[in-house]
Amino acid sequence: MSIRLIVGLGNPGPEYEQTRHNAGFWFIDNLAARFSAPPLKKESRFQALVSRARIAGQDVWLLEPQTFMNLSGEAVGAFARFYRIAVEDILVVHDELDIPPGTARLKKGGSTGGHRGLNDIVSKLGSQDFWRLRLGIGHPRQTNPKMAVIDYVLQRPGNEELDLISDAMTRALEIMPLMCEGKSADAMKTLHTAT
């Protein structure tokens, strides 16, 4: 198993660009820059922005669905079918309410935790067995219990929180070569020891 497709989840449009829900897009943008990938380009047939990076000697597709979060599976499913990418060779990067800012976690398969973008991907791929990189954004119950989750995720994080998310993202970027070489156990150990 080696990762052939890395998908970042978010919502298209400038009004969403800096919101917590776009952490997956932030990651893909940073990953593309780090590995000198060509700029992401709109691919209408996949309803996504697409690029390709060379990571640890592997060609890896980078994808940002432009369908809005809750329909992310449309782009991921179409892309994976077209390029015949196995479910276990896909890594989806997304914001995670259930872990605090400054934490990043890798897992394969399992529950979506109610994340609608993940739910749609599971539905379109017909499987939960893809990898997830979960970037912690915290939960409003810790800071403002009266705030609705949807309002929280569509808000811009404060500077301190943004610094924590950026730090976690940097640590996660460092393990991408291991994931792309198929060394997922080493990648998890490195990432989870660091946070």
Cite the active site residues. 21
Phi, psi dihedral angles at 65 (to 5 degrees)? -60, 140
Q: Which helix (H) or strand (E) holds 53?
A: strand 48-55
Residues 20 and 95 sit within 8 Å (Cβ to Cβ): yes
Return the sign of the alpha-carbon dihedral for residues 177, 181, 184, 190: negative
Q: Measure the CA–CA gap between 13 and 43, rounded to whole angstroms.
A: 16
What is the layout of strands, in order, in the sheet containing 90-96?
A: 41-43, 48-55, 58-65, 5-8, 90-96, 131-136, 104-108
Residue given tokens 């989806």 in the structure block:
92
